[in-house]
Amino acid sequence: MLIIAPSILSSDFYDLGKDCEDVLKCGADWIHFDVMDGHLVPNISFGVPILESLSKKIDAFYDVHLMITDPLFYVDSFAKAGADMITFHIESESDPYMTIEEIKSRGLKVGMTLKPGTDIKHLIPFVEMIDMVLIMTVEPGFGGQSFMGDMLPKISAIRKHADSLGMKDFLIQVDGGIDENTAKLVVKEGANVLVAGSYVFKYEDRKIPINKLRSAETDL
């Protein structure tokens, strides 16, 4: 069963709370929350207080994608603010083993991710310690970019490795340029969590894109 996680980076922030409620009502499984610090990626988005305001009022699974230089330092704050999963970049400056332990010690799920230019071999050793790998299919920093098809082999490499470890239900998330067409390509390679920002939010009725993404599995 696919997990659909709209990225609220593409919301009009004037309506952020309403947009979260709306996508959940339209069938979204998770809220993908993109945090950018202007260092690890060339953009600044939102952080702890916004997550706290949302999670206090809206019951959801908050999938927090930290595009920040020192994720380890912020795990505690995001955990207290209502994160359910924290995904951090292997290119960050935090020790990955300590960061994984810190996230787990808060009872949260752990994800790790990498930029398009980083070799997938750097994440392979961590698969057995974590819940999810996120494959970035755009340069992280902005919504609305084009899907990079040359990232597809990274998905199959992780799926193959997880299968070899007997981790059949291991989560592989894909983020960047996902729409009804690219969703099929990534699901075919073994992805089971789809992030979509601009594709979901461009529709007035978000049931339409969410259902189309979900059908990527049945159309295979």
Contacts of 121 by beta carbon, 8 Å cutoff, 6+ apart: none
Catalytic (active site) residue 175: yes
Collapsed DSSP state (helix, strand, coil) of residue 218: coil
Q: Which does 196 bind (CB under 5 to 8 A by kind): ligand DX5, Zn ion, none?
A: ligand DX5
Size of the site for ligand DX5 (CB under 6 A): 21
CA dihedral sign of residues 69, 124, 169, 193:
positive
Q: Which helix (H) or strand (E) covers residue 31, if one does? A: strand 30-36
**Which of 19, 22, 34, 179 is in the footprint of Zn ion by CB under 5 A?**
34
CB of 166 vs ligand DX5, minimal distance in Å: 30
Q: Which helix (H) or strand (E) covers residue 113, if one does? A: strand 109-114
Is residue 65 at the binding interface for Zn ion, with CB under 5 A as the rule? yes
CA distance 85 to 78: 10
Taking residue 114's Cβ as centre, other Cβ atoms within 10 Å add up to 20
Catalytic (active site) residue 119: no
141 or 190: CB nearest ligand DX5: 141
**Which of 141, 154, 194, 206 is in the footprint of ligand DX5 by CB under 6 A?**
141
Is residue 206 at the binding interface for Zn ion, with CB under 5 A as the rule? no
Q: What does the binding site for ligand DX5 look like in residue numbers (CB under 6 A)?
A: 7, 9-10, 32, 34, 65, 138, 140-141, 143-145, 175-178, 195-199
